[in-house]
Amino acid sequence: MPAVTFLPYDVTVEAAAGAPLLKAAAEAGLAAGFTVEAPCGGNGSCKKCRARLVSGDIYAEADAFGFILLCLSHMGETDLVVDVSVSSAETDEKGRFDETGEEIDFDGEIDFPVKQIEIEIAEPAQGDGLSDLDRLKNAAAKFFKGSQINIPLPFLAELPKCLRGGSGKKMLAYEKTGTEIQAVGLYDINFSPLGLAADIGTTTVAAKLIDADGRTVASRTAYNLQISCGHDVISRINYARDPQRRAELKRLAVKTINNLIKKLVGKNNDNSQIINVSVAANTTMTHLLLGIDPEYIRLAPYTPAVFDVPRCTAHDLCIDAAPCAPVRFAPAVGSYVGGDITAGLLCTPIGNFEQAGGEDLCLFIDIGTNGEIALGGNGFLLTCACSAGPAFEGGGVSCGMRASAGAIENVTIDDNKKPSLEVIGGGVPKGICGSGIIALIAELLRAGLIDPSGRFDDPDKRYALGGGLYITEADVQNVIRAKAAVFSACRTLVASIGADLSEINELYIAGGFGRYLNINNAKKIGLVPDLPNDKIKFIGNSSLAGAHMTLISEKFRRLQAETAARATYIDLSSEPGYMNEYTAALFLPHTDASMFRQLA
Amino acid sequence: MPAVTFLPYDVTVEAAAGAPLLKAAAEAGLAAGFTVEAPCGGNGSCKKCRARLVSGDIYAEADAFGFILLCLSHMGETDLVVDVSVSSAETDEKGRFDETGEEIDFDGEIDFPVKQIEIEIAEPAQGDGLSDLDRLKNAAAKFFKGSQINIPLPFLAELPKCLRGGSGKKMLAYEKTGTEIQAVGLYDINFSPLGLAADIGTTTVAAKLIDADGRTVASRTAYNLQISCGHDVISRINYARDPQRRAELKRLAVKTINNLIKKLVGKNNDNSQIINVSVAANTTMTHLLLGIDPEYIRLAPYTPAVFDVPRCTAHDLCIDAAPCAPVRFAPAVGSYVGGDITAGLLCTPIGNFEQAGGEDLCLFIDIGTNGEIALGGNGFLLTCACSAGPAFEGGGVSCGMRASAGAIENVTIDDNKKPSLEVIGGGVPKGICGSGIIALIAELLRAGLIDPSGRFDDPDKRYALGGGLYITEADVQNVIRAKAAVFSACRTLVASIGADLSEINELYIAGGFGRYLNINNAKKIGLVPDLPNDKIKFIGNSSLAGAHMTLISEKFRRLQAETAARATYIDLSSEPGYMNEYTAALFLPHTDASMFRQLA
């Protein structure tokens, strides 16, 4: 089979003649920790997968600049070398693109759902009439008097070998579900269990390995390999219409997770210690990981197959952990308010309401391609979602890119209207990421280079950043539409209880994005409400933190279930005031400047 | 990839260069309903997989007669044509090799474990806050008040599409396990459920499709594709030592079953109607189908992993039925007395004891490569197993073959000591099968051509049957050892309760073999006890019949569980009297001729 080598990463994968290069790049991405973008789903329209053919023959036409699009190119009969540095974003494991978040301070004791007991299993004896399973059940029955003990097939398949190693003393890992006992694994008595918490984002997957004390042993982030099938949830849902493509999306999500596990467990590669898995994901990602048709999420009346995923195991999902380890999903509230939000809310008084009391009015904003908003206080909880578009992740903007090495993350404009740039990792800027775009627009406004409606004074309708990078009026309009979607969603939600944004006691901003956001710039363009800075908290990847919390404590699992149950999902498209709010927000910072008085 | 065509069946399969031809033959066998034998497990010793190379180049040496052994031959770079008619046994779907047995007369009503109810599922409505799963559970909860309803992932994956087709009225198939409800499938209200009963034998797999009235819709038999990995359970256990080979055995067993299902459901190929599966198999076949290491079945103290298989589904086993259809295995009694026997006993008063009263002393013999024997009466039940070897299936005998087209099934010898042959399907005889061998030895004895110890008078130590076929003194000795193993096992079991074979009230002979056996010849060589013919019943494939019974009735499932629980497994190798009994039985019919007085 011919092979393709991707530069600058120097990763080589085999691919059959005729195979799309975008797929080969996705496979290669696994090994090197990067992936090529294809927000359009691979139809040639977004041109994000541009690459340069270094050597070899392919079935594709190069454009006028000598570039090819990976999505429209196919392997020929011979080996290829392709340079993707023009398009790819690197995952910096230790740098900016670490979205695993901060370590959590837990209150209350650790209370894992999967527990262990030491049992002593009788040796087999001729004529005793007992199978291995009988002897195991007899030993376990001493602890679980009267309870039904369920032994799944993958557990049974490993039992004979396990029982013949060492003494009869074993550690039985189990989970209690209702009145029944679910066997999880059988180990030596010195066994150290591990847990896995994972946040499955549309763009990014982050995971942590947790020890028996509930602490993080290792954490890793990777791009979701599904990116090659579309950049946002709607593209993915469209892609998933064909059952084979749906299976492909499932396989890519699992591969992303398993690759992270491989890195997390390290060299001895013993994933059988992972007996407990907690996943937080948006509703679409949850459906795709489970192989469920997500079609009806995007069709009226927007009814997903499942909000609260039934118990399943690592084996059911092909996740590389102990086969019978339970995989528990954070429950969703609506089609566009998923488990990532019920997990994230645990990091706020809205979800962790027993600790906080919960009288204060709290607003939670998770900003990504979709913006999810929750408003809670005094026993009520309203949620909604809006489509911000990819602008804050560097998409839909001429020189946009993700917050990884080479991205401009901050801009100031001096009195001579010249830009001064801060680049992630230093060096020559390759593009501009979300926080950089926000800073740039705030500065353009301050310097009078654009007006509050985002229009350039300059006849070229653009501003040059140097090094061939620039921002156009169309880019600014994209960002204005994105920030208007988020801000007007916040306004509408708060207005629905007859309150005003100024009454918010605490504002929580979540998301990988939120961690590097300059809050003053965000206020200047009217993305977030103009509250005093001491009322605003960045909580980073709260979805992963929530998955961690529910992994190690049944109390958080219960709080999360209660939060999901009492949350009301507001569909903004059917809220009468939303369109007016949105239109009013299409201004920098807002048509009603009185809302942003603190800035003055 | 090069391809190999197998004559006379004219089946072509692709196989990579270097692939063993025996494996390619197994794959091809699937399509054509035959398979090549490899009792030795493919090490070249049994020479049963002889074939003739017609064209092409292979990596193998032909023997002096121009034959190759498939097990020692490998694909070359080019296409091959190989004639396997010299070695293969054809499956005659309607003829002798139908081991699906007679239709059963049921007493008592039908009581399927998987039941159905009609439910009405609410239409999705915007803002109702309900997922598909929630609406299903709400509808089902009206019937299963308070019971936990478990929805497995494969059920959930199909739910969105299923709920969008037709009206909200659906048929929910479910199984009650303890206090919980296991969802099996969701269908239109005019749905007709089907069940599958299967007997997984070491050599032969037989299956029946059962309708909602409990009647057989279709039945089929095929060779177990595992034959290419060894002829008896010990060869298979040895083969399974390597985990990859164990996975291969599992795959081959599943493939055999799925191929039968394809034929059973016919052209519309809708196996999703099969919502209920019942399997009877010996202990080793059960382990291999489940992917469990069978190693400890053959190692002292002979402890299998499992006697009573936990609940599993078609999806768990990769069986082509409704994914959540439960697959229930007949429980085993010991390493060599498996679920096929507890199923078969349901066809006798030993297993179906409530109907029969059970005071009579009953003996059950299932004769195959292994012989299994059960002795029951008045509340007790003893079981044992002996290794008969393959002689009664045509193995270990110079011109032996299975009971399929071309096999000599009966022989008489005239006054001139010339044989007269009956051949299955007529035509030129290709070999001699078990019933023919028994008839031949009985006739050789009657005609004075061999003495009661099996020795030939003739200096050539053989007897010619014409057409190049013959039997040797060594063959006769093999058969004598086989019948001695079965008969002495019967004697030992009966003696263990202080009784004598003559006290047996009813003798049941099971097995595909048993259906064509001439009982008088079997008595003449001392294979079965010399009871009056009206006390002897042939019950054919009682394992499949038992699987059918437990498929359609919980009563039989209960009787079977009770039978398995009260059965005692006697290990003959540790019974002091067995070796003496065996030695005494190495005579035609027996050293104690008084036991076979009825024949006189």
DSSP B123: P
Kindly state the tokens that stand for A467.
């090094």
Q: Helices B473-495 and B434-446 meet at what angle, rounded to 10?
A: 100
Q: How does pLDDT run across B296-355, given as a tens digit for each residue?
A: 999 989 999 999 999 999 999 999 999 999 999 999 999 999 999 999 999 999 998 886
| Residue B51 pLDDT | 75
Size of interface A-B (CB pairs under 8 A): 138
Closest CA to A363 of A548, A523, A492: A492
Sheet with B274-281: strands ordered across: B216-223, B204-210, B194-200, B274-281, B326-329, B312-313
Closest CA to A596 of A502, A486, A480, A488: A502
Nearest by CB: B307 against A126, A134, A317: A134
- A241: number of CA atoms within 13 Å, CB side? 8
Query: What are the φ and ψ backbone dihedral angles of B202, each rounded to 5 degrees?
Result: -60, -40
Query: Considering chain B, what percentage of its residues have pLDDT values greater than 90?
Result: 58
| Residue A40 pLDDT | 63
Instruction: Give residue A411's identity as a one-letter amino acid code.
Output: V
Query: What are the φ and ψ backbone dihedral angles of B297, each rounded to 5 degrees?
Result: -70, -35
Asked casually if ipTM beats, i.e. exceeds, 0.95, the reply is no
Q: Do the chains contact at A303 and B180, CB–CB below 8 Å?
A: no
Alpha-carbon distance of A343 to A333, in angstroms, equals 11
One digit per residue, the tens of pLDDT, for chain A of length 600 reads: 888 887 655 667 888 888 888 888 877 753 323 355 555 666 776 666 777 777 787 776 665 555 678 888 888 888 888 877 554 333 333 333 344 555 555 655 789 999 999 999 999 998 888 999 999 999 999 999 889 999 999 999 999 999 987 778 999 999 999 889 999 999 999 999 999 999 999 888 999 999 999 988 998 888 788 887 887 899 999 999 999 999 999 999 999 999 999 989 987 778 999 999 999 999 999 999 999 999 999 998 999 999 999 999 999 999 999 999 999 999 999 999 999 999 999 999 999 887 655 578 999 999 877 899 999 987 799 999 998 877 887 777 888 877 777 889 899 999 999 999 998 888 888 889 888 999 999 999 999 999 999 999 888 999 999 888 999 999 999 999 999 999 999 999 999 999 999 999 999 998 765 456 788 999 999 999 999 999 998 888 899 999 999 999 999 999 999 999 999 999 898 888 899 999 999 999 999 988 887 665
Residues 6+ apart with CB under 8 A from B79: B2, B3, B4, B5, B55, B56
Pair B403, B394: CB distance under 8 Å: yes
Mean pLDDT score of chain B: 86
Weakest-pLDDT range from A161-170, A368-377, B76-85, B548-557: B76-85
B120 to chain A, minimum CA–CA distance in Å? 17
Helix (H, G, I), strand (E, B) or coil at B107: coil
Return the beta strands (E) in A314-406 as ranges: 326-329, 362-367, 370-377, 380-387
- B381: number of CA atoms within 13 Å, CB side? 22
Alpha-carbon distance of A44 to A66, in angstroms, equals 16
Per-residue confidence band for B85, with pLDDT thresholds at 50, 70 and 90:
low
Closest CA to B395 of B203, B589, B585: B203
Pair B21, B75: CB distance under 8 Å: yes
Place of tokens 């009267």: A146
Distance of CA A399 to the CA centre of its chain: 23
Weakest-pLDDT range from A140-144, A424-428, B92-96, B395-399: B92-96
Helix (H, G, I), strand (E, B) or coil at A455: coil
Distance of CA A134 to the CA centre of its chain: 44
A108 to chain B, minimum CA–CA distance in Å? 30
Nearest by CB: B303 against A131, A303, A317: A131
Q: Which of residues 531-590 of B touch A (CB under 8 A)?
A: 568-569, 571, 574
Kindly state the tokens that stand for B482.
């086989």
Nearest by CB: A126 against B153, B311, B571: B571
Length of chain A: 600
Pair B337, B372: CB distance under 8 Å: yes
| Residue B266 pLDDT | 86
The helix (run of H) or strand (run of E) holding residue B365 is strand B362-367
Q: What share of chain A is helix, strand, coil (3-state, %, to 5)?
A: 35, 25, 40
The alpha carbons of chain A give a radius of gyration, in whole angstroms, of 26
User: Which of A302, A303, A383 should be substituted to probe chain B, the one whose Cβ sees the most B Cβ atoms within 10 Å?
Assistant: A303
Alpha-carbon distance of B599 to A507, in angstroms, equals 99
Is the CB of residue B305 less than 8 Å away from at least one CB of chain A?
yes
Q: How does pLDDT run across B566-592, given as a tens digit for each residue?
A: 999 998 988 888 999 999 999 999 999
A447 to chain B, minimum CA–CA distance in Å? 46
Q: Do the chains contact at B307 and A148, CB–CB below 8 Å?
A: no
Is the CB of residue B303 less than 8 Å away from at least one CB of chain A?
yes
Helix (H, G, I), strand (E, B) or coil at A329: strand
Beta bridge partner(s), residue A472: A462
| Residue B36 pLDDT | 58
Q: Do the chains contact at B303 and A124, CB–CB below 8 Å?
A: yes
Regarding predicted confidence, which is higher, B433 or A389? B433
Alpha-carbon distance of A279 to A551, in angstroms, equals 9
Beta bridge partner(s), residue A137: none
Nearest by CB: A160 against B128, B151, B295: B295
The alpha carbons of chain B give a radius of gyration, in whole angstroms, of 26
Weakest-pLDDT range from A410-414, B68-72, B444-448, B587-591: B68-72
DSSP A397: S
Return the beta strands (E) in A247-387 as ranges: 274-281, 312-313, 326-329, 362-367, 370-377, 380-387
Residues 6+ apart with CB under 8 A from B579: none
**CA A512, A515, A517, A520 torsion-angle sign:** positive
Weakest-pLDDT range from A173-182, B95-104, B369-378: B95-104
Q: Which of residues 122-151 of B touch A (CB under 8 A)?
A: 124-134, 148, 150-151
Per-residue confidence band for B8, with pLDDT thresholds at 50, 70 and 90:
low
Kindly state the tokens that stand for B92.
């005659």
| pTM given for the model | 0.82
Pair B377, B508: CB distance under 8 Å: no
Q: Which residues of B touch A306 (CB under 8 A)?
A: 131-133, 156
Weakest-pLDDT range from A327-331, B27-31, B152-156: B27-31
Pair A472, A361: CB distance under 8 Å: no
Query: What are the φ and ψ backbone dihedral angles of A287, each rounded to 5 degrees?
Result: -60, -45
b/e A48-79 (16+ beta carbons within 10 angstroms → b) = bbbbbbeebebebeeeeeebbbbbbbbbbeeb
Alpha-carbon distance of A234 to A431, in angstroms, equals 26
Weakest-pLDDT range from A514-523, B113-122, B223-232, B449-458: A514-523
Is the CB of residue B300 less than 8 Å away from at least one CB of chain A?
yes
Kindly state the tokens that stand for A100.
């695993």
Is the CB of residue A242 less than 8 Å away from at least one CB of chain B?
no
Q: Which of residues 262-281 of B touch A (CB under 8 A)?
A: none
| Residue B91 pLDDT | 37
Closest CA to B393 of B29, B35, B39: B39
CA dist A90 → A80, A102, A435, A511 (Å) = 22, 22, 18, 19
- Determine if residue B581 is left, alpha or beta; phi over 0 gives left, psi from -120 to 50 gives alpha, anything else beta: alpha
Is the CB of residue A302 less than 8 Å away from at least one CB of chain B?
yes
Kindly state the tokens that stand for B180.
């919980």
| Residue A92 pLDDT | 35
The vertex-A46 CA angle with A44 and A52, nearest 5°, equals: 70
Which DSSP string do the residues of B419-488 spell out, in sequence order? EEEEETTSSS--EE-HHHHHHHHHHHHHTTSB-TT--BSSTT-EEEEETTEEEEHHHHHHHHHHHHHHHH
Kindly state the tokens that stand for A115.
């527990």
Regarding predicted confidence, which is higher, B228 or B132? B132
| Residue A87 pLDDT | 45
| Residue B415 pLDDT | 94
Q: Do the chains contact at B133 and A291, CB–CB below 8 Å?
A: no
Kindly state the tokens that stand for A449.
């280079």
Which DSSP string do the residues of A60-118 spell out, in sequence order? S---TTSEEEGGG-EE-SS-EEEE-TTT-EE--SSSTT--S-PPPPPPS--B-SEEEEE
Q: Within 10 Å of residue A346's Cβ, how many Cβ atoms? A: 27
Is the CB of residue B225 less than 8 Å away from at least one CB of chain A?
no
| Residue A99 pLDDT | 47
